[in-house]
Amino acid sequence: MNNLEPIIENLHNLTEKIADESGLAVVVVDEKGSVFKANNNSICEVLETSEEFAPRCAEFCGRAFQMASDAGQSVSYQCYAGLDCRAVPLKQAKPLVAIVGRAFTKAENYRRATERAISGDWNKFPPTRVFENVLLKGSSNILETTAKKLEKLEIVSESAAVAEDFAAASEKEKNEKLTANNEQQTTGDDQSAETSPSTEIGKLIGQFNQQTAQATVDYGQTLKKTSEEIEEIAAWRSLFGSLFNLTYQKACLSIIRFLSKRYALNSMAWLERRENRFESIMATGSMEGQQFKISLPADDKLLFDALENELSLDLRERAKNGERKNPQTISLFPVSVGGEVQCALVVADELKEETTKRHISRFCKTVASELEILRLREEVKRRNWLANAVEKFNASLKNIDTDDFWSNLTRVSAELMRAERGSLLVFDEKSDLLTVKAAVGVTADSIKNESKRIGDRVARLVLQNGKPVVVGDVNKIGLKPAPSDWKYKSNSFISYPFSIGNRRVGVLNVTDKADGLAYSEFDLELLNAIAPQVAVLIDRASLKSEAGKFEQLSVTDALTGLLNRRYLEERLAEEIKRSNRYGYPMSFMMIDVDDFKIYNDTFGHTEGDKALRIVGRCLRETLRSADVAARYGGEEFSILLPQTTPIEAETIAERLRENIESTEFPNRQITVSIGIANCCLELNSAHDLIVAADKALYEAKRRGKNNVQNYENIEDPDDEKK
């Protein structure tokens, strides 16, 4: 048995306790690499074993041993994945360093990681692996506290010294010990046994055992709990272990039931944050079936004060007229992850015991990470489902440009929303009227003939406000009932307005969900995803069928038939807003015909115009129905790609380039260079995206033309100068 094994084993046990207590990862490394890990972050497990990302990990945690050893003290750093860490040197015969943390302490960092896992460079890994054990903390204080605990593990240095002495004993001394034991000398005049090497080694072993035991006791005292607290934590952990087999909502319900049984509570509710208020998503007891909202103060100071002091925020109900009438008092316990309060638990029962409040507050603080992991998992699944649904929707639109355009568009949209009934209304700015273009489902014909009545109830108001409406039960919002001859089966519906820039385009109404359930925010998100392409389709069809020639030309390039620069920039600004608000990916291309001036000078402007028309035709043939292609000016074209990741954009661009290169032109072969920019935190305005795509296009020209370059892959010239 290696002489350091008892020390390493004991150190492993202690660091596991620290990791368990803090909810952080503790990874012990030596100069060669990892020795052991406790509660490691699943993101780290995935990236460290990846051929692509392991070198990036080596730049941070791979250098932790050297950084802490050189500094002779703890070193803080944040890795490329956004995880906060401390490298803590451990005094040992064989030098060791503990990496503590590997946790997100800022909301923007774990959200950025989520985006990378959903649609970025981590989406190649199975979501179940990435989000198996994500570590989330509200601040860096817990990292500092845990690092200090590791620094104070006296057993490390003392035991190491003992082990070093033990290892230094020669083979001769060990043999003498064995001889002495075998001979069992009993002579009274030989006192050497008291000072022989074997006796000294025995003393060392005794010291080691004694110091190990004492250090364990000392550490145990730093973490001591009353028997009641130990039992409390054990019950919590038993629950936490079961949560990972549930969906997020079922986990919230399981938490409510657990607290109800544990603390003899009857009426509780789980609240989710919606901008500046909390809304109930599930409740029990007297709160069950109630729909209520809690407005939040301008900042979250009161919420964080309650978290810090392990207390509740006690709120009193007010009557609608502002006067208190038999007010109900509730206790609100915030749940914070990554420095933000996204949900809360409400207890309507009277909490007389201060201890109970503290227990519930600590519970909410502890369970926050587990819930966020579940939410992130479902976010990944939801995004994947959403992407598949949009892809299916786009495929359905390929053959939609027929004589029965409006009916087909309405039918495809209703099918996507699993609606048995739906109607599409188009707005005419000149007459200020909404017209029913198409309706699907029973009584569709009668709805078409009731254009005034159907628009005046909901659609006109929705269009004016520019915000969609999701109604779970029309009877609870005071809306005037629909005519009885419309024969709605459901009281739930969605009314969704479409617009391009500041121009109002139309409204889609869907109701009678096929599964019989009410529409929710999740259904609304699906409409948010398809809204850009639906708005463009409605607008194009309206211009084609109703607008005068002058209006059509105002947004269309006369030479190529593509949209013009003005229209493109308007759509680009709108799509960027949607991308920033909902986190959807979005890409933008700038395309330039190579050596077009030479083509014009050689073959004449008439032939040049023919070539541009053929390029425009190639764009239309290659692009998806949701994409927006425009002639930007001269021989330059631009394409807006909604719901498109950088990798997808590069694939589309390469397909475009190859299509044009293989197309037969009248005089000679034509090629194009393409630059791509992707909407992100650094590029979140129309101007920034256009400039970035233009720089990528310039790089494509510099590299010999007839190629595709993405802005995020090229080096900034200013950086090269530095």
Which band of pLDDT confidence, cut at 50, 70 and 90, is reported for residue 654?
A: very high
Q: What is the mean pLDDT of residues 331-360?
A: 84
Between residues 129 and 665, which one has the greater pLDDT?
665
Report the distance separating Cα 686 and Cα 220, nearest Å: 59
Report the distance separating Cα 549 and Cα 552, nearest Å: 5
Q: Which helix (H) or strand (E) holds 156?
A: helix 154-168
**Residue 152 near residue 352, CB atoms below 8 Å:** no
Q: Is the dihedral of CA 504, 494, 374, 529 positive or negative?
A: negative
CA dihedral 708, 714, 720, 722 (to 10 degrees): 150
Cα dist. 201→163, 174, 175, 246, 692 in Å? 10, 9, 12, 55, 71
302-309 long-range CB contacts below 8 Å, 24 or more apart? Answer: 303/334, 303/336, 303/341, 303/344, 304/334, 304/336, 304/341, 306/332, 306/333, 306/334, 306/361, 307/138, 307/334, 307/336, 307/341, 307/361, 307/365
Checking if the pLDDT of 275 tops 80, the result is no
Q: What is the mean pLDDT of residues 50-59?
A: 92
Report the distance separating Cα 248 and Cα 245, nearest Å: 10
Nearest to 525 by CA among 682, 340, 691, 383: 383
Q: What is the mean pLDDT of residues 75-93?
A: 88
pLDDT of residue 482: 67
3-class DSSP string for 160-223: HHHHHHHHHCCHHHHHHHHHHHHHCCCCCCCCHHHCCHHHHHHHHHHHHHHHHHHHHHHHHHHC
Report the distance separating Cα 331 and Cα 312, nearest Å: 6
Tokens coding 268: 């509780």
Which band of pLDDT confidence, cut at 50, 70 and 90, is reported for residue 489?
A: confident
pLDDT of residue 721: 38
Which band of pLDDT confidence, cut at 50, 70 and 90, is reported for residue 299?
A: low
Between 9-23, 272-286, 447-461, the lowest mean confidence (pLDDT) is in 447-461
Checking if the pLDDT of 494 tops 80, the result is yes
Query: Across the strands, what pairs with 1?
Result: none
Report the distance separating Cα 81 and Cα 61, nearest Å: 11
pLDDT of residue 184: 46
Q: At 330, give phi and psi (nearest 5°).
A: -125, 155
Checking if the pLDDT of 237 tops 80, the result is no
Which band of pLDDT confidence, cut at 50, 70 and 90, is reported for residue 226?
A: low
Between 139-148, 166-175, 515-524, 649-658, the lowest mean confidence (pLDDT) is in 166-175
The CA-based angle 253-258-261, given to 5 degrees, is 125
Between 143-152, 218-227, 466-475, the lowest mean confidence (pLDDT) is in 218-227
Q: Which amino acid is at 274?
A: R
Checking if the pLDDT of 659 tops 60, the result is yes
Checking if the pLDDT of 77 tops 80, the result is yes
β-pairing, 84-90 vs 708-710, is unpaired
Residue with tokens 């330039």: 592
β-pairing, 25-30 vs 96-103, is antiparallel
Q: What percent of the chain has pLDDT over 90?
A: 22
Tokens coding 179: 């001889």
Report the distance separating Cα 348 and Cα 415, nearest Å: 42
Contacts of residue 330, defined as CB under 8 A and 6 or more positions apart, other chains included, come to: 314, 315, 317, 346, 347, 348
DSSP structural state of residue 260: H
3-class DSSP string for 219-237: HHHHCCCCHHHHHHHHHHH
pLDDT of residue 165: 44
pLDDT of residue 274: 75
Q: According to DSSP H, which parts of 398-467 are helical?
A: 405-416, 444-448, 451-454, 460-465
Between residues 582 and 246, which one has the greater pLDDT?
246
Between residues 11 and 337, which one has the greater pLDDT?
11
Between residues 501 and 258, which one has the greater pLDDT?
258
Q: At 590, give phi and psi (nearest 5°).
A: -115, 130
Look up the pTM and report it. Answer: 0.51
Which band of pLDDT confidence, cut at 50, 70 and 90, is reported for residue 28?
A: very high
Contacts of residue 467, defined as CB under 8 A and 6 or more positions apart, other chains included, come to: 497
β-pairing, 628-633 vs 563-564, is parallel
Checking if the pLDDT of 211 tops 50, the result is no
Q: Is the dihedral of CA 155, 161, 164, 170 positive or negative?
A: negative
Between 295-299, 379-383, 582-586, the lowest mean confidence (pLDDT) is in 295-299
Which band of pLDDT confidence, cut at 50, 70 and 90, is reported for residue 673?
A: very high
Sheet of 628-633: strands edge to edge? 563-564, 628-633, 636-642, 586-593, 672-678, 708-710
Top-confidence range, 20-34, 41-55, 399-413, 440-454: 41-55
Tokens coding 536: 């463009």
pLDDT of residue 200: 47
Which band of pLDDT confidence, cut at 50, 70 and 90, is reported for residue 470?
A: confident
Between residues 245 and 468, which one has the greater pLDDT?
468
Which band of pLDDT confidence, cut at 50, 70 and 90, is reported for residue 544?
A: low
DSSP structural state of residue 517: P
**Burial class, 403, CB count within 10 angstroms (exposed 0-12 / middle 13-18 / buried 19+):** exposed
β-pairing, 75-78 vs 84-90, is antiparallel
Query: Across the strands, what pairs with 280?
Result: 271
DSSP structural state of residue 715: P
Q: What is the mean pLDDT of the chain?
A: 78
Q: At 383, give phi and psi (nearest 5°).
A: -65, -40
Checking if the pLDDT of 197 tops 60, the result is no
pLDDT of residue 283: 83
Between residues 106 and 1, which one has the greater pLDDT?
106
Checking if the pLDDT of 162 tops 90, the result is no
Q: Which residues of 566-591 are buried (b: 16+ CB within 10 A; e: fewer)?
A: ebbbbbbebbbebbeeeebbbbbbbb
pLDDT of residue 161: 44
pLDDT of residue 207: 47
Between 248-257, 393-402, 677-686, the lowest mean confidence (pLDDT) is in 393-402
Report the distance separating Cα 327 and Cα 314, nearest Å: 12
Which band of pLDDT confidence, cut at 50, 70 and 90, is reported for residue 156?
A: very low
Alpha-carbon radius of gyration of the chain: 34
Tokens coding 681: 């935190």
**Residue 294 near residue 281, CB atoms below 8 Å:** no
Tens digits of residue pLDDT in 676-719:
999 887 788 888 999 999 999 999 999 999 999 999 888 654 44
DSSP percent split of the chain into helix, strand, coil, nearest 5: 50, 20, 30
The CA-based angle 5-14-97, given to 5 degrees, is 70
Between residues 270 and 200, which one has the greater pLDDT?
270
Report the distance separating Cα 126 and Cα 124, nearest Å: 7
Q: At 92, give phi and psi (nearest 5°).
A: -155, 155
Checking if the pLDDT of 318 tops 90, the result is no
Contacts of residue 262, defined as CB under 8 A and 6 or more positions apart, other chains included, come to: 235
237-246 long-range CB contacts below 8 Å, 24 or more apart? Answer: 240/366, 240/367, 240/370, 243/367, 243/370, 243/371, 243/374, 244/370, 244/373, 244/374, 246/374
pLDDT of residue 617: 92
